[in-house]
Amino acid sequence: MNSYELTVVFKPNLEEEVLKTEQDQIMELLNRFEATIEKVDDWGRRKLAYEIEKINEGIYRFITFTANATVVAEIENRMRIRENLLRYLIIKNEVQK
């Protein structure tokens, strides 16, 4: 099992209900692939480093989880088709000993 961090940037114009539904669906996706969610950080609305689709800000969520290496590709395939996401990124956390 490897440790990963998933960064998700949602579109800023989402209503609170839709945002909650989107986040819940991402959590269900992780659970479906037997990922263990360790921590969820809500950074809220932030200015983007550069404009994406003529949008200057986004709603950030950081999710730390552990999963098998093969799971990451499946999660990325499913994240790619989500309409309310501006960007996502999964990185592997290096274990320091």
> pLDDT, tens digit, for every residue of 18-46?
999 999 999 999 999 999 999 999 998 99
Supply the pTM of this predicted model. 0.85
Instruction: Report residue 4's pLDDT band, with 50, 70 and 90 as the boundaries.
Output: very high
- In angstroms, the CA 42 to CA 86 distance is 16
Single-letter amino acid, residue 16: E
Q: Which residues pair with 66 in a beta bridge?
A: 3, 36
pLDDT at position 51 over 80: yes
Single-letter amino acid, residue 18: V
Question: What is the DSSP secondary-structure string of 15-35?
Answer: -HHHHHHHHHHHHHHHHHTT-
Q: Please state whether beta strands 85-92 and 55-67 pair in parallel, antiparallel, or not at all (unpaired).
A: unpaired
